A and B are shown apart, each in its own frame.
Chain A
Amino acid sequence: MRPDSASQIMRLLGQTRVPSFENISNLSMNSDCTQVVVPEEVFFTIAIAGILENLLVLIAVIKNKNLHLPMYLFICSLSVSDILVSLYKTLENILIILCKMGYLTPRGDFETKIDDVMDSLFVLSLLGSVFTLLAIAADRYITIFFALQYHNIMTLNRALIILAVIWAFCAGSGIAMTIFSHETATVISFTILFPFMLIFILCLYIHMFLLARSHAKKIASLPSSAVPQRVNLKGAITLTIFFGVFLCCWGPFLLHILLMKFCPFNPYCACYMSVFHVNATLILCNGIVDPMIYAFRSPELRSTLKKMFCCTRCTNHPSFRSTGLHVHSL
């Protein structure tokens, strides 16, 4: 039966009891857990905000030569992966709207290929995001614990090579996972990768944190200084924010994939899977929050952005002409 007549029948009948071949399509209407729908305007707004914010970070790092350091390369890589995730969601929504409007056939060859390409893009950006977070944590670890040899260990060339390896691995994994997406092993390896990476990154940060704590205690034992309880709390808050954001944004989606693989017919699982769009929106929100907690914490990057905006707004003001020249020379 053609799709158009099927939908016409359902509109005419206006009821939930329909012929069996349409039962599957109506089950979400039958079930008590209807899909929680996020309006597409919200989706697009969040995706575009994420793309713009991460583009700002990239532009700031490229413009300012002081920021051509390994640490900022990794932050750029994180921004690139966030841009890719937001792009994926935006493109997918556009394709779905085109499908709804009838410009694209649902199961054409071209559409299926585009689906596969976009799926591998999504896995690529997801893995890239996680591995970049690991690289950022490792870079900070080396900065603190191998401080004297840091410039020998982490040169700009090595950072570029590390990033190239990470992205090549993620691209290969993305393609492999898309091809073998039906296998259970794919799903299990995908979901197990995240907790392991998270625990490893957490261990790195806790070790760094312990060193900072002992340093703060040394300072605190000086007779002239006040006890810096605020400093210690700040470290705890920072670490909690890092991991809280990661868990809250990626956790729901990963649980969704697990449930979809292992208990698709369980009513509880089905109710969880009905909030899929909220989970997908959370992934987009991760793209917005990541620059705030990684990139914008750097004063140099913030000052670069301020100079960029001041330059575009105040080009005619005489006092800013010198700063304008200064920025252009960077």
Chain B
Amino acid sequence: MSAHRLISNRTSQQALSNSDYTWEYEYYEYGPVSFEGLKAHKYSIVIGFWVGLAVFVIFMFFVLTLLTKTGAPHQDNTEPSEKRFHVSSFVADFGKPLESDKVFSRQVAEESRSLFHFYINEVEHLDKAKQSHKASGLDSNIHFQEVARSSGRLAEELNCLTKFNIPNFVNTDQNSSLGEDDLLISEPPIILESKPVNQASCQILD
């Protein structure tokens, strides 16, 4: 490969003993190059490349930080109490799996974090549904049932929420290969069971 041949070329020039390498035209890199009449500085490509790279990286950094500052306007319309309830009920249950088994703690932490992101998506969906239904009640259970009736997809997502309510969710995660149908079948009783848990968590945080 030409990169290696360049290296051989370089070394031979250093050693001055392997000029054999440089006689063949295919080891050509430093062919007849004249340095007369250069308009710009001779290292202009080097300087230009590094300056361009630095500018690009800094630009990328600023774009990423700007992404954090601008947000969608509809997120500001949600009721903070409702949101606090959703997030806090999850946070209360979130604490349980992490304390349980240290062998799985790392795995659980990662999954919990990723599931947390998923859950936050669902909070967003639920809030949007809430706005569309204009339900003003703060009873989350009624709200859950309303939303669950509205679409099958939201029912699936509720199952992920109720899954978080189960303390030993590592075991249920191993059973997750059963598929989503099983979760859908068992959905109504789980919603009823979530009521005392949610109320308890609400009490814990208040």
Question: Hey, which bits of chain A sit against chain B, CB under 8 A?
Answer: 3-4, 6-7, 10-11, 21-25, 27-29, 31-33, 35, 37, 66, 69, 71, 92, 96, 99-100, 102, 106-107, 115, 118-119, 122-123, 143-144, 147-152, 177-178, 181-182, 206, 209-219, 221-224, 229, 232-233, 235-237, 239-240, 243-244, 247-248, 251-253, 255-257, 259-261, 264-273, 275-277, 280, 299-300
- The verdict on A222 contacting B57 (CB below 8 Å), with A25-B23, A148-B115, A150-B114 known, is no
- Rounded to whole Å, the gap between the CB of A182 and the closest CB of chain B is 8
Query: Quick one: closest A residue to B78, CB to CB?
Result: A221
B interface secondary structure, majority: helix
CB-based closest 10 A-B pairs: A232-B68, A236-B64, A25-B22, A119-B1, A147-B114, A181-B1, A272-B45, A240-B61, A215-B120, A25-B19
Question: Hey, which bits of chain B sit against chain A, CB under 8 A?
Answer: 1-4, 6-8, 10-23, 25, 28-35, 38, 40, 42-46, 49, 53, 56-57, 60-61, 64-65, 67-69, 71-72, 75-76, 78, 80, 83-84, 87, 103, 106-107, 110-111, 114-118, 120-121, 123-124, 160, 173-174, 176-177
Contact: B83 with A106, CB < 8 Å? Answer: no
Contact: B114 with A143, CB < 8 Å? Answer: yes
User: Which of A25, A239, A244, A299 gathers the greatest number of chain B CB atoms within 10 Å?
Assistant: A25
A interface secondary structure, majority: helix
- The verdict on A264 contacting B84 (CB below 8 Å), with A106-B18, A255-B49 known, is no
User: Which of A106, A147, A224 gathers the greatest number of chain B CB atoms within 10 Å?
Assistant: A147
Candidates A10, A37, A96, A213; contact of B16 at CB < 8 Å: A10
Cα(A243)–Cα(B64), bound, Å? 12
- Rounded to whole Å, the gap between the CB of B151 and the closest CB of chain A is 17
